[in-house]
């Protein structure tokens, strides 16, 4: 398999010449049952996307908080607003 397709999971099966209708029906039934089971569980891809999104939101929120804090510090220094403890008599 190509290196680009490594994360892809496949199910391969070989059908012999004497593969009968009843075995085909059983195979289809089993595949449907397994697919229903897998559909009921969150996929690793979805879990990874949700985790990545949550991490990105956390980083963005932290950056926004830091920017707001830095902005308020600049306003206090730039306007000379209020006395500091060293300036109080």
Q: Does residue 1 form part of some domain?
A: no
Residues 6+ apart with CB under 8 A from 76: 82
Which residue did the predictor score with more confidence, 85 or 37? 37
Q: What's the pLDDT band for 28 if we cut at 50, 70, 90?
A: very high
- The span from the CA of 59 to the CA of 65, in Å, is 10
Q: Which domain holds residue 44?
A: 22-75
**pLDDT on residue 26:** 94
Q: Does residue 51 form part of some domain?
A: yes
Q: What's the pLDDT band for 73 if we cut at 50, 70, 90?
A: low
Query: 87 φ, ψ to 5°?
Result: -85, -15
Distances (CA, A) of 29 to 9, 24, 75: 20, 9, 69
Q: Does residue 87 form part of some domain?
A: no
Q: Does residue 61 form part of some domain?
A: yes
Into how many domains does the chain fold?
1
List, for residues 46-59, the tens digit of each pLDDT value: 778 788 888 888 88
């Amino acid at each position: 398999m190509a290196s680009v397709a490594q994360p892809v999971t496949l199910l391969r099966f070989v059908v012999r010449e004497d593969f009968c209708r009843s075995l085909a029906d059983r195979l289809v039934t089993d595949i449907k049952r397994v697919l229903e089971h897998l559909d009921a569980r969150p996929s690793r891809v979805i879990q990874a996307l949700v985790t990545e999104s949550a991490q990105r939101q956390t980083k963005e929120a932290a950056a926004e908080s830091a920017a707001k804090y830095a902005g308020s510090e600049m306003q206090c220094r730039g306007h000379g607003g209020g006395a500091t403890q060293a300036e109080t008599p």
